[in-house]
Amino acid sequence: MAVVGQNAIVTGASRGIGRAIAKGLIGDGLNVAVVARTEAALKDLAQETADAPGRAVVIPCDVSSAQNVKDMVATARQELGEIHILVNSAGVLDNEGIANHSDETWRWHYGVNVDSYFYTIREIIGEMFERRSGRVVNIISTSGKVAIGPNRAAYVSSKHALMGLNREVAVEAAPHQVTVNAICPGFVLTDMVEDSMEKFARDFEKTKEETRQHFIEQIPMGRFIEPEEVVPVVRLLVSDGAGAITGQAISVDGGFAPL
């Protein structure tokens, strides 16, 4: 477990996996800047964790903007002090066939799924280098390892790009004793995945139940993953005892893509 009182930034904290991670770290006694575009959802999270050992600092931010990220990190430092842990969990997912794929959807995926991770890492990791300690955890997806189905060119390619970023930054950070790792969740039952399944059902003329069964059949454990099941892996990777673990991409997917 990370040291009580350490400071963290968690992006994508308004819902799904990012929200579960933020709640877990605050419950462990860390002070967490919770970051997302939806301020109301972040305030709800802060209220839910008001009695926890750690505290939440609400910072609304569109992390696909380099300037917004710069301002967000400055605010986090002002409110918390030095940043010991960065967890990138912002992400978007839409379904479009490649033949008629729009430029807007492509750029949207890369802006949120790739650019935001680059911006936050760039703003924070120099401080970690100077201190010779720090933890970066990038929430990617099993889609960074395998193609999970049709009509997801932007999503899958953006997640593969993140895998490259994770590996390269880990190599650069290692001499400074800073670790950089990825977690690759599989079919986690979040609003984003529910929305994607609805679009899959629409595109392939399936019922909602047929679609759910189609995805479940691909998971050896025979069930969807819960957001909270990602949290223990985050706890491991940000702990003091994980100093030799870097450049890794750990799947939490019920056996879907175990490599």
Dist. CA 206–CA 180, nearest whole Å = 40
pLDDT in tens, 138-166: 999 999 999 877 888 999 999 999 999 99
Model pTM? 0.94
Q: Is residue 181 pLDDT above 90, yes or no?
A: yes
Dist. CA 123–CA 66, nearest whole Å = 9
DSSP H helices in 54-206 = 66-80, 103-110, 116-131, 153-173, 191-203
Range of weakest confidence among 62-66, 181-185, 201-205: 201-205
Predicted pLDDT at 2: 67
Residue 119 falls in the annotated catalytic set: no
Predicted pLDDT at 126: 98
259 pLDDT tier (thresholds 50, 70, 90): low
Stronger pLDDT, 94 or 179, i.e. the higher one: 179
Q: Is residue 39 pLDDT above 90, yes or no?
A: yes
Collapsing DSSP to helix, strand or coil, 34 comes out as strand
Predicted pLDDT at 107: 97
DSSP 177-196: TEEEEEEEE-SB-SHHHHHH
Predicted pLDDT at 258: 65
161: its two tokens: 């790009």
63: its two tokens: 């992390």
9 pLDDT tier (thresholds 50, 70, 90): very high
Q: Which of 110, 117, 119, 155 is catalytic?
A: 155
pLDDT in tens, 198-245: 887 888 888 888 888 888 998 999 999 999 999 999 999 999 999 999
**Mean per-residue pLDDT of the chain:** 94
Q: Could you tell me if 215 and 197 are in contact, meaning their C-beta atoms sit under 8 angstroms apart? A: yes
59 pLDDT tier (thresholds 50, 70, 90): very high
pLDDT in tens, 124-138: 999 999 999 999 999
Q: Are strands 85-88 and 7-11 parallel, antiparallel or unpaired?
A: parallel
Stronger pLDDT, 4 or 72, i.e. the higher one: 72
Query: What is the mean predicted confidence (pLDDT) over 179-192?
Result: 92
Please name the fold of domain 7-252.
Answer: Rossmann fold (3.40.50)
Amino acid at 20: A
User: Which residues in 164-183 are b (16+ Cβ under 10 Å) and which e?
Assistant: ebbbebbeebeebebbbbbb
Query: What is the mean predicted confidence (pLDDT) over 62-81?
Result: 98
